């Protein structure tokens, strides 16, 4: 029993692709993502969506994910820290703050107001038994437990209007952060930005759509070669089936806990 | 791993209603619009439909409604998505009961939002786009003032974005008192270009994510 747990490890495939409306206007993809494996089977992943109305949204998104992951990875995060809800929450809150500071510093360095780098941010720290997530803005983090249930770890945050959300650079950003701790036997984690929200979540009830996530989780769990898997994911995100339904930038990170 | 596995063949999507982007055209059909202006406006409406339907997402998301004001207020077109929209042929007669027109368009938006909410449809901030060649006429000043106060309150609370466009001899000073946003003056009867712009703007809004305001395309058809 113990030895099979020893062999468990995360397989992660992630991609950000440019929406067709941005391709048409030769804009950059405003999404960014990043992930890292820490010792002790701890996965850290982040996704961000730069605001279309922000001229440097892409820069904001990139700086935010890098800074958030770095902030967590340089700490000696272990299962013990994550065993306490309080310390787990602090870990994520500090990462949000670090990302916000990094984006604001980047704005100063580029001589621009912070809102030019407006971006959302989702960060997840996951082990086989706990997921801790922090989010500002829309997009969603989803987990699958060992019983096969899907849970949305966060709620896409939009105002009355679907295109209005909170950003890391908003003055009230830190008031709108969602931080959640979820303790279950976890088999999968997914992060996605708002471009995929309508395809992946049954919005009226706020539940993840199983026929969306299950094949993707299965795909990553069985992926032998991650470079090829990423190419397949990119191809999927660019497929007609998706671009007919959304013209937004898309980011999807899928993680599967695997014992092979 | 099989090389033939294609994710787009195995992944299925949630069925959520398309988000809607409501737009009320609030149009002056008073007597002074007779002749060339109303014909140019009708032509403009045809271009509006054509342009919106060129963009597959906008044609499913943008909902158009038309309210006319002369001596009466008429809802010529209740909200329909652009692909279902048949531009009407408007005629001009009578006075300019603009205040009542503003009330009606704000009512329509309020009702539409309630329908969206009860059906779980996500939506963008509604637009009202008013076009006039005159100024309020044929109703008490008090009524116009009241419509203006309601409009300014709704604009300030982000319930609506209200744009006004003056044509030919429109009283621009009066228009700027009524609304929050500065009215724009149409160059000649360049309605076609204006509606192409409006379509591009609605398309931009209908797939935008904003911090404060969507960046709209530059205006080539008028001036402040």
User: Over the stretch B118-174, which tens digit does the pLDDT of each residue have?
Assistant: 988 989 999 999 999 999 999 999 999 999 999 999 999 989 999 999 999 999 999
Predicted confidence at residue B220, as pLDDT, reads: 81
Query: Which is higher by pLDDT, A13 or B224?
Result: A13
- Average pLDDT (A46-50) is 96
Predicted confidence at residue A154, as pLDDT, reads: 96
The residue ranges of every structural domain in chain A are 2-258
- Chain B residues with at least one Cβ partner in A under 8 Å: 1, 5-8, 10-16, 19, 56-57, 120, 122-125, 158, 205, 207-215
- Tell me, what's the ipTM? 0.88
Would the CB atoms of B1 and A223 count as touching at under 8 Å? yes
Q: How many CB atoms lie within 10 A of CB A97?
A: 18
Determine whether B223 is exposed, middle or buried from the number of CB atoms within 10 Å of its CB (0-12, 13-18, 19+).
exposed
What is the percentage of chain A residues whose pLDDT exceeds 70? 95
Helix axes B141-156, B98-118, angle to 10 degrees: 40
What is the percentage of chain B residues whose pLDDT exceeds 90? 72
| pLDDT beyond 50 at A2 | no
C-alpha to C-alpha distance for B15 and A16, rounded to whole angstroms: 23
CATH of B25-207, one of 3.10.620.30, 3.30.530.20, 3.40.50.410, 1.10.132.10: 3.40.50.410
Q: Give Dmax (Cα) for chain A.
A: 57
CB nearest A215 (choices: B1, B11, B125): B11
Q: How far is B98 from chain A (nearest CA, A)?
A: 28
Residue A48, phi then psi, degrees to nearest 5: -145, 150
The residue ranges of every structural domain in chain B are 25-207
Predicted confidence at residue B210, as pLDDT, reads: 53
Predicted confidence at residue A22, as pLDDT, reads: 66
CB nearest B211 (choices: A115, A241, A247): A115
Predicted confidence at residue B223, as pLDDT, reads: 82
Predicted confidence at residue A91, as pLDDT, reads: 97
| Nearest residue in chain A measured CA to CA from B119 | A204
C-alpha to C-alpha distance for A123 and A104, rounded to whole angstroms: 18
- Average pLDDT (B188-208) is 84
- Average pLDDT (A157-168) is 85
Q: How far is B92 from chain A (nearest CA, A)?
A: 36
Residue carrying the six token digits 């003055």: A171
Q: Nearest to residue A194, comparing CAs of A242, A135, A250?
A: A250
- For an interface test with A, give the residue of B9, B10, B11, B63 to mutate (most A CBs within 10 A): B11
pTM: 0.84
User: Which DSSP helix (H) or strand (E) runs through B115?
Assistant: helix B98-118
Would the CB atoms of A52 and B208 count as touching at under 8 Å? yes
- Assigned architecture for domain A2-258: 4-Layer Sandwich (3.60)
The confidence band for A25, taking pLDDT boundaries of 50, 70 and 90, is low
| Nearest residue in chain A measured CA to CA from B120 | A204
Q: Going by C-beta distance under 8 Å and a sequence separation of 6 or more, which residues neighbour residue B172?
A: B166, B183, B185
The confidence band for A51, taking pLDDT boundaries of 50, 70 and 90, is confident
| pLDDT beyond 90 at B94 | yes
Provide long-range contacts, Cβ within 8 A and 24+ apart, for B174-182: B174/B135, B174/B136, B175/B132, B175/B135, B177/B148, B178/B98, B178/B102, B178/B136, B178/B144, B178/B147, B178/B148, B178/B151, B179/B130, B179/B148, B179/B151, B179/B152, B179/B155, B180/B151, B180/B152, B180/B155, B180/B156, B181/B155, B182/B224
| Nearest residue in chain A measured CA to CA from B60 | A245
Tell me the Cα Rg of chain B: 19
């Amino acid at each position: 029993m113990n030895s099979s747990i020893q062999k468990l490890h995360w397989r992660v495939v992630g991609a950000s692709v440019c929406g067709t409306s941005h391709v048409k206007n030769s804009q950059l993809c405003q999404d960014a993502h990043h992930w890292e494996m820490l010792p002790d089977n701890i996965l850290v992943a982040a996704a961000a969506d730069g605001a279309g109305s922000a001229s440097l949204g892409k820069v904001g998104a990139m700086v935010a994910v890098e800074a958030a992951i770095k902030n967590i990875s340089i700490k000696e995060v272990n299962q013990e820290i994550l065993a306490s809800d309080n310390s787990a929450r602090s870990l994520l809150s500090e990462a949000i703050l670090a990302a916000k500071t990094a984006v604001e510093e980047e704005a100063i360095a580029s001589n621009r107001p912070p809102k030019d780098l407006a971006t959302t941010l989702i960060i997840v720290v996951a082990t086989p038994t706990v997921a801790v997530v922090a989010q500002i803005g829309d997009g969603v983090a989803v987990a699958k437990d060992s019983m096969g249930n899907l849970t949305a770890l966060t709620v896409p945050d939009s105002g009355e209007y679907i295109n209005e959300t909170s950003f890391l650079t908003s003055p009230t950003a830190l008031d709108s952060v969602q931080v959640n701790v979820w303790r279950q036997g976890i088999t999968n984690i997914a992060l996605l930005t708002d471009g995929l929200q309508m395809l992946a979540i049954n919005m009226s009830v706020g539940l993840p759509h199983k026929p969306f996530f299950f094949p993707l989780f299965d795909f990553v769990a069985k992926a032998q070669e991650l470079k090829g898997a990423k190419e397949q994911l990119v191809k999927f995100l660019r497929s007609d089936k998706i671009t007919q339904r959304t013209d937004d930038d898309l980011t999807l990170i899928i993680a599967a806990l695997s014992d092979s | 791993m099989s090389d033939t596995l294609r994710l787009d063949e195995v992944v299925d999507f949630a069925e959520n209603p398309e988000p809607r982007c409501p737009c009320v055209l609030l149009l002056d059909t008073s007597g002074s619009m007779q002749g060339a202006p109303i014909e140019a406006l009708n032509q403009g409406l045809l271009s509006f439909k054509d342009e919106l339907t060129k963009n597959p997402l906008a044609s499913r998301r943008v909902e158009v409604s038309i309210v006319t004001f002369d001596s009466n207020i008429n809802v010529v077109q209740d909200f329909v998505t652009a692909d279902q929209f048949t531009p009407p042929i408007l005629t001009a007669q009578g006075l300019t009961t603009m205040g009542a027109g503003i009330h009606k368009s704000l009512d329509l938006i309020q009702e539409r939002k309630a329908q969206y909410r009860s059906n779980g449809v996500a939506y963008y901030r509604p637009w009202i786009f008013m076009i006039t060649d005159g100024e309020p006429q044929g109703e008490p000043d008090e009524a116009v003032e009241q419509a203006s106060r309601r409009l300014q309150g709704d604009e300030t609370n982000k319930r609506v974005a209200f744009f006004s466009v003056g044509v030919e001899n429109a009283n621009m000073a009066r228009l700027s008192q009524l609304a929050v946003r500065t009215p724009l003056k149409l160059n000649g009867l360049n309605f076609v270009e204006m509606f192409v712009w409006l379509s591009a703007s609605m398309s931009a809004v209908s797939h935008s994510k904003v911090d404060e305001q969507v960046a709209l395309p530059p205006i080539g058809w008028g001036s402040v």
